[in-house]
Amino acid sequence: MTKIEVGFEFRQNPVNRKWVIIAPKRSLRPNIEGGLEPACPFCPGRESWTPKEVFRIGHDGKEDSHWEIRVVPNKFPFAPIHEIITHSPDHDGSLFTYNHEQIKRIFRVYKMRFCEYEKKGQVYIFHNHGPGAAESLPHDHTQLAVIPPNITLDIPIMGEVENQFKDSRHFILSCPNTSEWPYEVWIIPKNRGRTYGEITEEEIDNLAAVYQETLVKMQNFFGVDFSFNHYIYPGGDWYLRLIPRVKVPGGFELGTGVFVNTVDPKTAAKQLSE
């Protein structure tokens, strides 16, 4: 499977053991760079433009345009399993604007797709929103990539909760002392030590609320509809990390992997609590 002909290949640097994915076909993706926006393949009515649907919420069992969330294989994969979860039929909607029920559906679909693949590898679920966050198509979507178990991913693991700024029913929100990005927020379940596949329906309800509340509040700092990423830790002791993309990593970060964070996470937590 790991042949460049299928679109991608995992290669390990023999000196520092770090992995890279070479995926030349991804350069063929439709792109919003250059200003002209191509017709959107994720809009209702264009279902035949994507690879065959693998899952949906709304009109289950049908293949019509009346879906609420739609999951298809990525046409330009960089992993053996790589899916696109289209958040909503609404081309202009986003996690800033969806109603509570729609955000719950999205986090519920994350869980269902996570459980579908957790035995096959490391299920990495991530979202890119906005031009500053590597978004390729503006119709809001999340990606799920299953990375083979032998590929070591260097993802931060959770320690003690630091700089907590919100305590809700099932989640604590914090800005860890060693945050790499200004104002990054970790949403941490109070019931620790589980995978995302074990999230309960009650937790999904609470997560949807604190997640959107945080995003909306951040607009006071970064403006309406700012660029951000989030991902869900793929292993045990899961958390969701939300990163406003208010700066571009420079030459120091790129070479050393050491980030220069210009906002003390203590200050960030204080501001986010107000």
Q: Which residues bind Zn ion (CB under 5 A)?
A: 40, 42-43, 91, 139
User: Rounded to the nearest whole angstrom, what is the least distance from the CB of residue 109 to Zn ion in the complex?
Assistant: 18
**What is the SS3 assignment for 242?**
strand
Q: Dihedral (C-alpha) 67, 73, 74, 78: value to the nearest 10 degrees? A: 150
- Smallest distance from the beta carbon of 142 to Zn ion, in angstroms? 15
Nearer to Zn ion, 83 or 140 (CB): 140
Shortest reach from residue 140's CB to Zn ion, in Å: 9
* Burial of 240 per CB tally in 10 Å (0-12, 13-18, 19+): buried
Comparison of 16 and 48: residue with beta carbon closer to Zn ion? 48
For residue 165, give the nearest of 147, 179, 180 by alpha carbon: 179
- Which single residue brings its beta carbon nearest to Zn ion? 40
CB-nearer residue toward Zn ion: 40 or 54: 40
* Cα torsion angle, 41, 142, 145, 20, sign: positive
143: left (phi over 0), alpha (psi -120 to 50) or beta: beta
Closest CB to Zn ion among 84 and 207?
Answer: 84
* CB of residue 28 to Zn ion, shortest distance in Å: 19
